[in-house]
Structure 1
Amino acid sequence: MSSSYTGGCDHVHIKATAEPIDNHVCHCNVCKSVTGQQTTHVAFFNHGDLLVDHPEKMNRQPFNKDNPDGPLELCTCADCGAALMLDDKQKRIRVAVPNVMGYNVATFPDPTYHAFYDTSKGYAEPSDGRPVYEGLRPEFVWPKPE
């Protein structure tokens, strides 16, 4: 498959070999903190479907500073510091944030729903016609670890 989902930086290239298994607009506080964005377009891939050409050039740090032992790690380029992907230590998923991680945003399908929306955050509920959930979409099933 010639992937339309390629990202990364000049030193580390990321390529998807399949379609995302989940594609949403995230409203969580961790994404806000890491990206500096009010909302973030996030695409989950099965762990083996997002390939890295130079994993030895990636630095890893906890994605959630308040849960440093959590399953997700933010991978950045050891040479230039670019954000590359989120990697699941349990090897279930890898995550692309198209507008932050060097992807052509136009090649990604539009997000299908809003995740982690919380009425207590003080901003209006999204009204773009996509479903809005307090977590991931109810039918989402975490893939088995590789």
Structure 2
Amino acid sequence: MSSQCSGGCDHIHTKAAHAPIDNHTCHCSVCKAVTGQDTTHVVFFRHGDLEVDNEAGLKRQPFNAKNPDGPLELCTCGECGAPIMLDDRQSRIRVIVPNLMGYGDQIEPAPYHAFYDPASGEAKPSDGRPVYEALRPDFVWPEPS
């Protein structure tokens, strides 16, 4: 990733001046339900490293409908409905899905697969990247900002 990338929509802009702390291809059922994609490229930034220029314009809803009090909120533009980011109520991370949130190919491809569940019946990814049943083993959640 370049030292700075940006996304959002015509009404709300996000900008990251620092590299992400995690970058993976997600296989979880929540991402599948929310995005409609079989797998989702997901990128975590430290909460304070992803700036939003119009937070008042965000519409917030639970990311996981089965866990509405969970830490992540899906933030969409209150004017056009475009997905902008996932925001962590605990202020640890902000999350971008590059192909849905205006980032395109500004962020490097995911180096690993996360949340692969062998019980899902789906074939285990065989593209040579590591496959984990959770986040990569060395991932450490940042302290709230």
Query: Structure 1-normalised TM-score?
Result: 0.96
The 3-state SS of whatever aligns with 2:135 is coil
SS in 1 for 2:56: helix
Unaligned runs of 5+ in 2: none
Instruction: Kindly report structure 1 stretches of 4+ aligned residues shifted beyond 2 Å.
Output: none
Work out the CA distance in 2 between the residues paired with 1:52 and 1:140: 25
Q: Is the partner of 2:31 in helix, strand or coil? A: helix
Residue of structure 2 equivalent to 1:91: 91
Q: Over the residues paired in the alignment, what is the CA RMSD in angstroms?
A: 1.0
Q: Distance in 1 between matches of 2:3 and 2:134?
A: 29
Aligned to 2:137: 138
Instruction: Give the AA of the match of 2:24.
Output: H
Contact 2:118–2:124 at 8 Å: present in 1 too? yes
Identity between Structure 1 and Structure 2 (%): 67
Indicate the SS of the match to 1:107: coil
* Contact 1:3–1:15 (8 Å) recurs in 2: no
Q: Which residue of 1 aligns with 2:77?
A: 77
State whether residues 91 and 145 of structure 1, in contact with CA within 8 Å, keep that contact through their aligned partners in structure 2. Answer: yes
Task: Tell me the secondary structure at the aligned position of residue 59 of structure 1.
Answer: strand
Aligned residues: 144
- What TM-score does the superposition give when structure 2 sets the normalisation length? 0.97
